[in-house]
Amino acid sequence: MKREPLIFEVSDKGKRAFRLPKLDVPCGQDPWRGYSLRESIEGFPQVSEIEVVRHFTRLSQWNHAVDIGFYPLGSCTMKYNPKVNERVAAFPGFAGVHPLAPEEYAQGCLEVLKRTEELLGEITGMDAFTLQPAAGAHGELVGMMLIRAALADRGDPRRVVLIPDSAHGTNPSSAHLCGYRVQEIKSDGSGRVDMAGLEKAMTSEVAALMVTNPNTLGVFETDIRKIAAVVHSRGGFLYMDGANMNALCGVCRPGDMDVDVIHLNLHKTFSTPHGGGGPGGGPVGVKNVLEPYLPGPKVDRRDGRLVLVADLPKSIGRVRSFHGNFLVVVKALAYILSLGAEGLKEMSEVAVLNANYIRKSLEGLFHLKYQTPTLHECVFSDKFQKEHGISNLDIAKRLIDYGVHPPTMSFPLIVPGALMIEPTETEPRRELDVFIEAMKAIAREAKESPELLKSAPHASPVRRLNETAAARNPVLRWTEDMTEPSRE
């Protein structure tokens, strides 16, 4: 494939994207000069409009995207999102409203916030929500801040947070940032929380257990209410990472499982595209015991209108400017209302069906460490392919040649050589079959032609790179003596 030059390489002095005739009227003093006009940038590329358009159009066609094909990143929930939700969020009344607009001029926006809180409460079974957190890990942090505030209010903030080895990877960081020491709970043979280990670890020093349900194996914690009983009996709180809520909507509610606090990912489950650095939304729901500590200000209904309440004496305070990423909330509300209760349930059912279709189609070809039934995602490993010298990295690189984005690799850590696959509910069977056939072909190639995998990808703009060296010593500008990217 022909190498695309850098924009600096197509630059020629004097080129520009537009040209205006000389001014034929008197020129007044420019009020902005010296204030906001950018000075010239040394070495800034000078190109024509068509060169700019073609350069960035070609680059955009090199990258994989959910609008192009299947994006099976396990745990990340990279699903197609309805464009109508983006259009709703672009309405001038939403996109153009000033965040400091008086309450009387922002009643519609406040209604969006309040209705979203109420609907998320209905979906999860929690008593109250805050929409301020900007993403999932931020929601985790806020959840742990609420727990610490409540325990400190009792005079006993405690020292330890328990986290299963099957939990999401950001959970330990969220606990550490709140001043806690993390203690790991091992999984049992089914991939679930080991109850005996939990009983032993749950002491009076433990503030909370952070459990992901379904966990990162896609396995549902069937003992979740027993887990809650153990935690509560020792005075702790049960935090649930709700990033995998797209497996549960309309089927069961974390609040009914005796969960005390949960975060959701609007940018995974409820419409907003995931990835690219955001924006996201990580709202946090709580039971009544933690509601007084929620961030403020809060939206409340009083005398037939919506108001912002800032007098919250026990609140942990604001955790995000204004009310969080508001347009993400708009899209989530549009998604929830357009699907309704039946549609949300179908969303979860199809997500589970798709994941199990892939699992059953690939069983026997790729190793499954845990035979436990799974929900919205499944985790294979490269154990069978390792016999032929092939790793999960080789499998992932070869998938690129088949026009498929690789799944999440090497996570969760409890599965060595993991290939974590989540198809989501938006993928039709035709696309799933394309992925399945590619994986079957790769399984054959691993036995018959392992060299194809070791040197893959072959059809991409950039071939196999030394990723460690690239991260440590990035080459940011092409030079004349570089004729081909290094494959070493």
Tens-digit pLDDT profile for residues 326-381 = 999 999 999 999 999 999 999 999 999 999 999 999 999 999 999 999 999 999 99
Tens-digit pLDDT profile for residues 373-413 = 999 999 999 999 999 999 999 999 999 999 999 999 999 99
Ranges of each domain in the chain: 84-338, 346-472
- Check: CB of residue 294 under 8 Å from CB of residue 323: no
Closest-CA residue to 254 (of 118, 116, 124, 119): 124
Give me Rg for the CA atoms of the chain: 26
Domains 84-338 and 346-472 share a fold: no
Tens-digit pLDDT profile for residues 277-333 = 678 999 999 999 999 999 999 999 999 899 999 999 999 999 999 999 999 999 999
pLDDT score recorded for residue 487: 42
Q: Does domain 84-338 have CATH number 3.40.50.300?
A: no
pLDDT value at 128 more than 60: yes
Fold of 346-472: Aspartate Aminotransferase, domain 1 (3.90.1150)
CA atoms within 13 A on the CB side of 246: 31
